[in-house]
Amino acid sequence: MQQLDIPKKKPSFMRTIAAAPHIVWAVMFIVLPLIVVVWYAFTDAEGHVSFENIAGLSDYADTFLLSLELSVIATFVCLLIGYPLAYMMARAPKHRQKFLVMLLMLPMWTNLLIRTYSIMAILDDGGFLNTLLGTDLHIIGTKGAVIFGMVYDFLPYMVLPIYTCISKIDRHMWEAAEDLGCTPFQVIRKVILPLSTSGVVSGVTMVLVPSISTFYISQKLGGGTFELIGDTIERQFVSGALNTGAAISFIMMLLILLSLAIMNRFTDADEGGVIV
């Protein structure tokens, strides 16, 4: 993700050793757990090597596709709503921008459980919305409710990186484009959009990854009518079927790390888009 600027000189041993605690930590608590996951994924409950867990994953293909569908839609909606918002924030007067960023940060730093729960209380059958309107709308338990929950919870994660990216674009750039005869729309399409790709990519990642793996949102807003892949993992964990849970986690990790690696290929050249 980030570019390192390391001089090609002989490293001084005394200084390099400062990284030793970190290396030990990373091996013990990052690499080792991943090895344990792979080990659990390829063994049965008695600890014998078996491919049953992986082979049994085809049962969960539908769940996985449903998660993919909902999270892709949610990410797309976030982008659609978030990009204009980020653009408007970046074009607002400087003194107001700080206030707007703070307004965006407050929901971001509020716990996800609280945010999800608050929309559940509003959308619920006998909830605030229905009482207010005097209607009997059934919203919880629909796909729409889950997608709304994802969009609501993760929208700030889309807006912030894009905002950071756009606000870093030199104002002279769009002035120049305007001087050379671009319409405002063309300025956005030909100047702002290409220069904010890295913000979009990191925004998309930051929305897609948590929404594809969520289990709280679908638990609360799905009303128990459907299960996403995160729910499946959580259910395996609660019921103690750790091998299946590990197998699903392993496959999910492979898919996500792979797609992140591919995405990073496209934006390798710039270091921007890192949040906060």
Partner 1 sequence: MKKHLSRIYMCLIFGILYIPILTLILFSFNATNSTAVFTGFSFRWYAELFASPDTFLALSNTLILAICSATLSTVIGTAACEGIYRMRRLPAKLLNSVTNIPMMNPDIVTGMSMMLCFVAFVGVLQIDYEQFGFFAMLIAHTTFCLPYVILSVMPRRNELGKTYSEAAMDLGCTPLQSFFKVELPNLMPGILSGFVMAFTLSLDDFVISYFVGSSSFQTLPLLIYSMTKKKVKPDMYALSTLIIVTVFLLLLLSNIRSSKKLRKGGGRS
Q: Which of these, 114, 110, 113, 90, lies nearest to 100 by C-alpha position?
A: 90
- Whichever of 156 and 222 has its CB closer to partner 1, that residue is 156
**CB of residue 165 vs partner 1: minimum separation in angstroms?**
17
What whole-number distance in Å separates Cα of residue 215 and Cα of residue 189?
37
Interface with partner 1 (CB under 8 A), residue from 68, 77, 107, 272? 107
Interface with partner 1 (CB under 8 A), residue from 106, 133, 180, 262? 106
The footprint of partner 1 on residues 55-84 (CB under 8 A) is 81, 84
Interface with partner 1 (CB under 8 A), residue from 51, 79, 256, 270? 256
Q: Select the span of 19-27, 48-56, 133-141, 166-174 touching partner 1 (CB under 8 A).
A: 19-27
Evaluate whether 86 touches 159 at the Cβ level (below 8 Å): yes
**CB of residue 179 vs partner 1: minimum separation in angstroms?**
19
The footprint of partner 1 on residues 162-221 (CB under 8 A) is 209-210, 212-213, 215-216, 220
**CB of residue 198 vs partner 1: minimum separation in angstroms?**
15
Q: Rule CB under 8 A: is residue 137 a binding residue for partner 1? A: no
Q: Rule CB under 8 A: is residue 7 a binding residue for partner 1? A: yes
**Amino acid letter, residue 55:** A
Q: Using the structure block, give the residue that is written with the tokens 């919880």.
A: 140
Helix intervals (H) in the chain: 13-16, 20-26, 32-41, 52-55, 61-91, 94-109, 112-123, 128-133, 143-168, 171-179, 184-187, 193-195, 197-212, 216-221, 229-239, 242-266
Interface with partner 1 (CB under 8 A), residue from 90, 119, 160, 165? 119
**CB of residue 256 vs partner 1: minimum separation in angstroms?**
6
Q: Rule CB under 8 A: is residue 11 a binding residue for partner 1? A: yes
- Whichever of 95 and 172 has its CB closer to partner 1, that residue is 95
Give me the DSSP letters along 159-185: HHHHHHHHHHS-HHHHHHHHHTT--HH
What whole-number distance in Å separates Cα of residue 39 and Cα of residue 190?
50
What whole-number distance in Å separates Cα of residue 34 and Cα of residue 176?
51
Interface with partner 1 (CB under 8 A), residue from 105, 137, 173, 176? 105
